[in-house]
Amino acid sequence: MPGAPAWAVLFFAMLFTLGLSSMFGNIEGVITPLLDMGVLPRWVPKEILTGTVCLLCFLVATCFTLQSGNYWLEIFDKYAASLNLIIFAFFEVIGVVYVYGMERFCDDIEWMTGRRPGLYWRVTWKVISPLLLLTIFVAYIIFLVWTTLSYKAWNPQYKQFPSRQEKSYPGWVQAICGLLSFLPALLVPGVAMAQLPIWRRRKQENVQQNMCLKLQDSKVSDSEVR
């Protein structure tokens, strides 16, 4: 191809800019919740938090640059996102439709758009979507249970080399695959359980405040009567 070096430079520059644009969104998805949760004091600059998150991501990503980096990339690609996205989508639908309430959600859409969702959308959100997501989740779990976790390795001693030889993952790698599949999803009930005592304490404080206000009102009304 004429001018091959120039096209090669442009191609890798395109990959670099694509990677940067993707990482902007990914890093903001981590930094914004940390800022909203108040993990760090207000006087700490956002740049320090951003630099710390980028450094941690860089250290975690060094495993992909090792001699076995391609195998680790395959593990993260297969088990880090697929199951968790299904779980998150299922609980989002359940939370919006059955916890927040379908009528309240439709009222919000009507307030924003001026039109109320039709019967098709309400049936889809309430019945079809949860059933489809649950079916996919059960099928995926059955597939993981009945399938041997394996990978294709480069082995010069393999009879059919340069074709890659299929090998089973060691036990410790299978444990890592299980953690990657379920650990992000377990953070949701974990954070909910951690917030439960805080919610109960706030509820008790509100009850006590309401009782104090009622006592004050009763005292004021008694004094007025006298």
Q: How many CA atoms lie within 13 A of 162 on its CB side?
A: 0
- Please give the DSSP secondary-structure letter assigned to residue 40: S
User: For residue 142, what are its two tokens?
Assistant: 């059955």
Q: Is 22 labeled as ligand-binding?
A: yes
Neighbouring CB atoms inside 10 A of 129's CB total 17
Any idea of the CA torsion for 195, 200, 201, 203, to the nearest 10 degrees? 120
* Spatial separation of the C-alpha atoms in residues 16 and 112, rounded to whole Å: 39
Q: Is 18 labeled as ligand-binding?
A: yes
- Distance, first Cα to last Cα, the chain: 101
Q: CB-based burial of residue 181 (10 Å sphere; 0-12 exposed, 13-18 middle, 19+ buried)?
A: buried
Instruction: Provide the annotated binding site for Na(+).
Output: 18, 22
Instruction: Provide the annotated binding site.
Output: 18, 22
